[in-house]
Amino acid sequence: MITITINGKEIKLEKAMTVLEAARSAGIKIPTLCYHEQLEKYGGCRLCLVEVEKMPRLQTSCTLMVTDGMVVRTETEAIADVRRGILEFLLINHPLDCPYCDKAGECELQDLVEKYGPTTSRFREKKRKVTENLQDPVIVRNMERCVMCTRCTRMCEGVQGASAIAVISRGGHSHIEPFSGNRYDCEYCGNCVSVCPVGAIMSRLHRHSYRPWQVKENIETTCPYCGVGCTLVAQVRDDVIKRVVPKIGSPVNNGMLCSRGRFGYEFVGHKERLTVPLIKKAGVFEEATWEEAIGLVAKRLGEARDKHGSGAIAGIASPRCTNEDNYVFQKFMRVTLGTNNIDSTARMGYAGAQAFIENIFGQGATGNIISGLSNSDTVLVIGGDPTTVNPILGLQIRACSRRGGTILTVGHVPGLQHFTPMELKPGRRQETLLLECVVTALVSRKGLPGSNQRLEEKIKVVNADIATVAGQCGLHEKEMTDFIDSLAGAGTPAVVIGKELVQACNSGYRLFLACAISYLINGRIYLLCDHANEQGVLDMGCAPDLLPGYRPLSYAEFRKRYETAWKTTLPEKNGLNIFDMIAAAGSGALKAMYVMGENPVFNLPDSKTTVAALQKLEFLVVQDIFMTETARLADVVLPALSWGEKYGTFTNMERRIQRVRKTVGREGMEDWRIVAEISKHMSVRMHYADSGSVFEEITKVSPLHRDLTYDEIAEGATIYPYKGEPLRGATEEIRTDRGMTCPEGGLFLGIDRPLFHSGTLSRMSPALGKICPDAVLRINPETAATLLVADGDIVRVSTATGSLELPAVLDKHADRSVVLVSNIFEGRGVLGLMAAALDPVLGSPVLDTIPATVERVGKAKV
Amino acid sequence: MGNILLKNIENPNSAELCEYRKSGGYAGLQKALGMEPKAIIDEVKKAGLRGRGGAGFPVAMKWTFASADPKFPKYLLCNADEGEPGTFKDRPILEKNPHILIEGMTISGYALGAEYGYIYLRGEYPAAKDILNKAIKQAYEDNLLGDNILGKGVKFHLAVHQGAGAYICGEETALIESLEGDKGQPRIKPPFPVNVGAFAKPTVVNNVETLSNLPYIMEIGGEAYAKIGSPDCPGPKIYCISGHVARPGVYELPMGTPLREIIETHCGGIKGGGRLKAVIPGGISTPVLPPDKIDCPMDFVNMPKHGSMLGSGAVIVMDDTVCMVKVCHRALKFFEHESCGKCTPCREGTGWLRSILGRIEQGEGNEGDIDLLLSVAGNMIGKTFCPLGDGAASVVQNFIKHFRPEFEEHVRLKACPVGK
Amino acid sequence: MITFSQTTIKEIEEIRRKYPTSRAALLPALYVAQREFGWLSPEAYTAVSDLLGVPEAIARGVGTFYAMYRNKPLGRHVVQLCTNVSCMILGAERLVDFLKNKYGLEPGGTTADGRFSLVIMECIGACGTAPAMLVNDDFYENLTEKYIDEILEKYR
Ligand SMILES: Cc1cc2nc3c(=O)[nH]c(=O)nc-3n(C[C@H](O)[C@H](O)[C@H](O)COP(=O)(O)O)c2cc1C
Ligand code: SF4
Ligand code: FES
């Protein structure tokens, strides 16, 4: 216990802290500028100087640690003078443009000057002038307002880890550069915007459009983009989201955001949003009333069921919709239509991989706390770049490195390159072999733990020795043994598994090997997750083999339970998964489909086949917020409310259930309400007053969610296994079939996963579009050279399924045997070109075996 | 007292290992390696050696802290950033007697348990870099550096790290930042370098001259050493005198030699028979002294009693042709240029002071400008992150303190009165 | 794009081994880049950044902090004249004027033929032999106008 006295007040402290923190804990305000709770201590601005007895000089309270018996004064006349002096220094070069500056009202300098500041300036010289800089797509800079607190650079380097900006030059010439004007390594996270105390760095999105004090509401909600599920605060005025800011202290992202979370909100108010139901008549969409549209959907679905049987109808749910939407949707499919033909794009990898991992380690094995990653002593990354797929999770890996942890990567991970990872880069095709070798070496080094016999049976079969594998992978034996030694010596390791592993050939077998590694080193598994509610869509039972609560349909006792709850009988057999559905539609076995908040034409491999299949349907209804590639094929299009306009919950990759809140109003219905309306028209009444009553039903029927309430969830601590029972012991054999063999040689098509986008939702956010406006083909410079392709040249990339023309971007991080294209931009999606086989174990498409050719068709524009 | 640190520097080959050895070089190391590290530190303590970099901190105390810290490896950094204007005392050691420094560092490294040493050499000394590198190479070849020094199982590695033009890197934590590949900006203390220094490990930073004393202390023992010069801070001291004296240059004299003696006796008084006007006794950051204040022993203990500081022992002598406003202005230009920019008062204040001084010098000063100078300097002093900013402000305060009428005349006449 | 020669890459790797982190090799690597490319152009920073794995903005922040790194192209020979107090009181300002009038060399500027650049230095540690300057890496002390003429003659 430390006792100190501040301004005559005795304060007892449990642990060591700075004088500033101690003062704040006792409600004593000390002015600060360079201090920020998220950042490393700096002590540069000198505003927080205080008097400390027995110390000769004034001390910066933000850096001084308390000691027992310390006596501090923070508000003497002398100190006020000092602060006035410091503020005078800060103002000599600061423009006094408060009436024009968007920061006015929440400017820390303004507030300080108001309290302590000089009223006149004695500075007669010319002020430094810097013109406003609008080079950057999302940030506006007025660097003459900069007070050199370096909060932005400490954020960028020390927390975000992008190191895109730095203090350039020194002394009075110091200035912050270059932001993304020069496109160094800017990740457009905007976290510099969050910490800038003055109006030097601000978001362009709301420039001159409102004053901070005009914000009507600060609404806390959950980011709509990735599986991390960051807490966002939407600031709303006049029913428009003006700005999105993070919240310090929120459990997942604690004050941090990525570009998508911070700048990606504009899709909500996009002018191309669907507003009225559309019915296709003679090939042309016509606007219709809700009555009409709902009536028609109910009628056609009913007819299809009656004529062809329930098995001829299928539904696709959405990892972007809330738990409530998805729950009602699957209930509609199962109860109203009587089919288990329901699935989602979680089938592209997440669902199969999670099921596989849980079959080995038990339910919830992937639900590890994201912030815990930074406390690991070792993080192994396999299968992609976590810093782009799940950026805020990526930050935790960077933090781990900064704290002295070891980062190991299989393959090259650009987002971690400045964090001194130990890399093993086998050719893409040798990855399986390499993982086998790691497993073998770990067994010989550490032995088998003996806690999971089923797994050990399988591990014992694996055998690959370092020398041979090093030769085959073109690696040095030394780098392999160092890597393996690090893994073997790990105390609190984590294993991060990305899509590139789950969508590769041998993916099931590779995942088994990754699990084996994790088991042998006693690691925690993190399975990267693309979409905000990818976990929730599975938890809600939007899968052909799962009931709500992630309960296997094949267990009669579970089925019983739901039959009782829903007062119905459920089909016993698993339904069609999303790939089966397309196949069945193509073969004519499926007659009608209901797609909610998903765009299978764009988001499933081989768009031609998908289009042909959907066109064969007798009836297709698509419910969405934009006219998507899939919606264009529909007979009826139903406009839904978006993320920003409704209440509900998302479940993130940690299996944390979080609230989504309505931020702005719009006429229309939530997805669940539309579905319930249709059901009502089909004489199966679903009675929910609001999303809360849907959730209440979920907590009654799903043992996983038992007794939860919205209020509890709002605390942010509702993490699996909640209060209910996790499922244990429901195990099947661990499969280790290898699936298709990796083809040798040649050039293959791969998926580019840019940090600035997430599926097709982000393409409707103009700000993100400005950062990353269009699809490109990323190609290794050496590969490009052999093809005579220069940076910026227009190239045609072709596969057996089709071709695209795109500008080439030479990217030294790209593998030599792969060219990468993203799956974001309309008409330029890479998945469309990929006619993929499915992995026999995971059921996910094998996307790294698509041969591609690249030819130059046009010169770079200069 | 003959030359100890600058022994043999008249010999054109003094930087060669063989020459150094001929005059008894590396005997101190030989002796030290036969002692317990703790015993060496005790000897240094008895010697009463204080750091020659400017602050005069007791060397043995610093070493004791670092050697007591359980973290390994430890680092020994030689501060060869000599940047304080007026200072050129380390340069002759670096260029003419590099082995005395290498020997001193090896002894220190052994005493501290530091296995790695770097000489942080200022970028403006390119010749010294080559000389040091050559000397280090020779020392490695003769097994005076390496993993098994003189076959005694002692390990010490040494390399030169070249600075790149930043005065602030003379400050020890800025120096460490710069060594680590960062901007030279001072760090928050505590933790002190002796516990968390270079690469977060216990680190001792000592000046070139300081470390070069080690061989001699080993040779004659701490007690004998303590008899040289001032009792409170004994030893030989290199003074460097520049400006209007007949014989400027470096002088190795016992610590505590009076300033007047240095100027009048050793340097032959004011050049060309001019009149002494002002002396900056310890490098530009130390308070300027008027002619009647130079009867002071030049050491760490006595100088503060006489209104200034020993600093680096860099004496700048000015005769009466020199304009004090101009010198003050030039000094502030230096501080403005060298301010690292980390803290507000120094970053903004040095430039502001410089511009006020500039306009006074140009004859554009206003009434009130001198008080404004004092007020701005007052707003800096005691509020900056490191002593650089304090130094800048105190230069202004001291010039005005001793030469206020000259400042006032500039304002009144709107021109420089000196020499007219 | 510019790249380091193979020997330079080796040299930097050797420097790298003198330190426990690659970041610590940044200052020496910037010197090497400056020597190799003449000045620290944006491309030079990219090359250093790639080689050491230090983010480019960081490298640039460091490279612009220190006065001896050249962040713009300079003449073939760099005259670095000290004008700090000891040199100033012994006539350094007169030498600045001399260089301006006779050679057209302004502080911070370069002669039209690209032969010389003039950089005003803070103290270069030659106060006892002031005024003093460095031309590239060579020290010249006790300068006079005539001596400067002789010295500059040597640099073509
Ligand atoms: C602004 C500033 C500049 C300094 N410059 C130097 C310098 O050039 N050389 C030096 O040895 N010490 C310099 N010092 C002192 C060092 O911080 C440190 O005290 C010294 O290197 C310790 O060595 P010593 O104990 O052997 O003197 C400077 C200190 C400050 C605050
Ligand atoms: S996209 Fe993911 S990481 Fe980024 S803000 Fe949203 S939830 Fe957080
Ligand atoms: S807040 Fe303490 S120095 Fe800036």
Q: Is A189 in the pocket of ligand 2 (CB under 6 A)?
A: no
Q: Mean pLDDT over residues B218-237, rounded? A: 96
Q: Tell which one of A258, A267, A757 to mutate to probe ligand 2, the residue whose CB is within 8 A of the most ligand atoms.
A: A258
pLDDT at A428: 73
C-beta of residue A369 within 8 angstroms of C-beta of residue A654: yes
pLDDT at A464: 95
Q: Is A509 in the pocket of ligand 2 (CB under 6 A)?
A: no
Is residue C48 located within the same domain as residue C104?
Answer: no
Mind spelling out the 3-state secondary structure of A791-854? CCCEEEEEECCEEEEEEEEECCCCCCCEEEEECCCCCCCCHHHCCCCECCCCCCECCCCCECEE
Residue C53 is assigned to a structural domain of this protein: yes
C57 lies within 8 A of chain A by CB: yes
CA dihedral A59, A64, A65, A68 (to 10 degrees): 0
Q: Is A60 in the pocket of ligand 3 (CB under 6 A)?
A: yes
- Burial bucket for residue A467 (CB in 10 Å: 0-12, 13-18, 19+): exposed
pLDDT band of residue B244 (cuts 50, 70, 90) is very high
C-beta of residue B357 within 8 angstroms of C-beta of residue B366: no
Q: Mean pLDDT over residues B404-411, rounded? A: 97
Residue with tokens 């009647």: B292
Is residue C61 located within the same domain as residue C86?
Answer: no
pLDDT one-digit tens code per residue, B377-404: 999 999 999 999 999 999 999 999 999 9
Q: What is the pTM of this model?
A: 0.95
pLDDT one-digit tens code per residue, A591-605: 999 999 999 999 999
pLDDT band of residue A758 (cuts 50, 70, 90) is confident
DSSP structure class, residue A770: H
Q: Is B388 in the pocket of ligand 1 (CB under 6 A)?
A: yes
In chain C, the residue whose alpha carbon lies closest to the alpha carbon of A419 is C53
User: How far apart are the CA of B339 and the nearest CA of chain A, in angstroms?
Assistant: 5
Q: Mean pLDDT over residues C85-91, rounded? A: 97
Is residue C91 located within the same domain as residue C149?
Answer: yes
Is residue C89 located within the same domain as residue C55?
Answer: no
Contact C64 A163 (CB under 8 A): no
Residue B133 has pLDDT above 90, yes or no: yes
Residue A727 has pLDDT above 80, yes or no: no
Q: Mean pLDDT over residues A660-684, rounded? A: 97
pLDDT band of residue A729 (cuts 50, 70, 90) is low
Residue C129 is assigned to a structural domain of this protein: yes
Contacts of A18 (CB under 8 A, 6+ apart): A41, A61, A62, A63, A64, A65, A66
User: How far apart are the CA of C2 and the nearest CA of chain B, in angstroms?
Assistant: 23
Q: What is the residue-wise DSSP string for B298-312?
A: -STTHHHHTTS--TT
Q: Is B237 in the pocket of ligand 1 (CB under 6 A)?
A: no
Residue C1 is assigned to a structural domain of this protein: no
Listed residues C45, C65, C85: the one ending a domain:
C65
Is residue C86 located within the same domain as residue C140?
Answer: yes
CATH number of the domain where residue C147 is located: 3.40.30.10
pLDDT at A184: 60
Domain assignment of residue C24, given as a range: 6-65
Q: Is A24 in the pocket of ligand 3 (CB under 6 A)?
A: no
pLDDT band of residue B69 (cuts 50, 70, 90) is very high
Listed residues C37, C65, C93: the one ending a domain:
C65
Q: How far apart are CA B312 and CA B52, in angstroms?
A: 7
Q: Facing residues of A442 across strands?
A: none
Residue C1 has pLDDT above 80, yes or no: no
Q: Is A43 in the pocket of ligand 3 (CB under 6 A)?
A: yes
User: How far apart are the CA of A86 and the nearest CA of chain B, in angstroms?
Assistant: 6
Q: Mean pLDDT over residues A816-823, rounded? A: 95
Number of domains in chain C: 2
- Angle (CA) A181-A183-A189 rounded to 5° is 90
C114 lies within 8 A of chain A by CB: no
C53 lies within 8 A of chain B by CB: no
Look up residue C127 and give its two tokens. 């106060």
Residue C94 is assigned to a structural domain of this protein: yes
- Burial bucket for residue A447 (CB in 10 Å: 0-12, 13-18, 19+): exposed
Q: Is A257 in the pocket of ligand 2 (CB under 6 A)?
A: yes
Residue A182 has pLDDT above 60, yes or no: no
More confident residue, A429 or A424: A424
Dist. CA C107 → ligand 2 center (Å): 51
C-beta of residue B79 within 8 angstroms of C-beta of residue B52: no
Peptide bond into A851 cis (omega under 30): no
Residue C111 is assigned to a structural domain of this protein: yes
pLDDT one-digit tens code per residue, A791-804: 999 999 999 999 99
Q: How far apart are CA B124 and CA A1, in angstroms?
A: 52
Q: Mean pLDDT over residues A748-765, rounded? A: 90
pLDDT at B397: 98
Dist. CA A127 → ligand 3 center (Å): 24
Residue A724 has pLDDT above 70, yes or no: no
Q: Give the H or E element holding residue A378.
A: strand A378-382
Contacts of A685 (CB under 8 A, 6+ apart): A679
Contacts of B88 (CB under 8 A, 6+ apart): B82, B240, B242, B250, B314, C125, C126, C127, C128
Residue among B242, B259, B254, B255 at smallest CA distance from B300: B255
Is residue C141 located within the same domain as residue C95?
Answer: yes
Listed residues C16, C34, C65: the one ending a domain:
C65
Residue A181 has pLDDT above 70, yes or no: no
Contact B314 C127 (CB under 8 A): yes
Q: What domains lie within chain A, and their CATH numbers? A: 2-90 (3.10.20.740), 120-267 (3.30.70.20), 278-344+542-646+666-702 (3.40.50.740), 350-527 (3.40.228.10), 748-858 (2.40.40.20)
Contact A170 C64 (CB under 8 A): yes
Is residue C26 located within the same domain as residue C86?
Answer: no
Residue C72 is assigned to a structural domain of this protein: no
C-beta of residue A359 within 8 angstroms of C-beta of residue A570: no
pLDDT band of residue C26 (cuts 50, 70, 90) is very high
User: How far apart are the CA of A399 and the nearest CA of chain B, in angstroms?
Assistant: 17
Of B82, B86, B166, the CB nearest to C65: B166
At position A768, the amino acid (one-letter code) is L
pLDDT one-digit tens code per residue, A204-215: 999 988 888 888
C70 lies within 8 A of chain A by CB: no
* Chain CA centroid to CA A484, Å: 30
Give contacts of B336 with chain A, Cβ < 8 Å: 171-172
Contact B183 A90 (CB under 8 A): no
Give contacts of C61 with chain A, Cβ < 8 Å: 153, 166-168
pLDDT band of residue A862 (cuts 50, 70, 90) is low
pLDDT at B420: 53
Give contacts of C20 with chain B, Cβ < 8 Å: 199
User: How far apart are the CA of B349 and the nearest CA of chain A, in angstroms?
Assistant: 7
Start-to-end Cα distance in chain A: 68
Give contacts of B181 with chain C, Cβ < 8 Å: 21, 23-27, 54, 62
In chain B, the residue whose alpha carbon lies closest to the alpha carbon of A62 is B188
3-state DSSP call for residue B280?
strand
User: How far apart are the CA of B222 and the nearest CA of chain C, in angstroms?
Assistant: 31
More confident residue, A332 or A720: A332
Residue C70 is assigned to a structural domain of this protein: no
Mean pLDDT, all residues of chain A: 94
Task: Report the percent of chain A where pLDDT is more than 90.
Answer: 88
Q: How far apart are CA B229 and CA B222, in angstroms?
A: 13
List the subunits that have 3+ CB pairs under 8 angstroms with A. B, C
CA-A392 nearest atom, ligand 2: 3
C-beta of residue C36 within 8 angstroms of C-beta of residue C4: yes
Residue C71 is assigned to a structural domain of this protein: no
Give contacts of B124 with chain C, Cβ < 8 Å: 68, 80, 121, 124-125, 134
CATH number of the domain where residue C10 is located: 1.10.10
Dist. CA A158 → ligand 1 center (Å): 28
Q: Mean pLDDT over residues A685-695, rounded? A: 96
Q: Is A47 in the pocket of ligand 3 (CB under 6 A)?
A: yes
pLDDT at A720: 86
Query: For ligand 2, atom 5, which residue shows the shortest CA distance?
Result: A261
Q: How many CA atoms within 13 Å lie on the side-chain side of A349?
A: 25
B67 lies within 8 A of chain A by CB: no
At position B206, the amino acid (one-letter code) is N
Is residue C136 located within the same domain as residue C83?
Answer: yes
Q: How far apart are CA B244 and CA B362, in angstroms?
A: 24
Is residue C17 located within the same domain as residue C82?
Answer: no
Give contacts of A168 with chain B, Cβ < 8 Å: none
Task: Report the percent of chain A where pLDDT is more than 70.
Answer: 98
> Which residues 3-22 of C are in CB contact (within 8 Å) with B?
18, 20-21
Q: Which ligand is nearest to the CA of A44?
A: 3
Is residue C46 located within the same domain as residue C94?
Answer: no
CA distances from A229 to A221, A450, A483, A662, A682 (A): 9, 36, 32, 16, 36
A51 lies within 8 A of chain B by CB: no
Q: Mean pLDDT over residues A610-637, rounded? A: 98
Is residue C86 located within the same domain as residue C149?
Answer: yes
Look up residue A563 and give its two tokens. 């039959």
Is residue C112 located within the same domain as residue C81?
Answer: yes
Q: Is A566 in the pocket of ligand 2 (CB under 6 A)?
A: no
Contact B379 A89 (CB under 8 A): yes
C57 lies within 8 A of chain B by CB: no
Q: Is A258 in the pocket of ligand 2 (CB under 6 A)?
A: yes
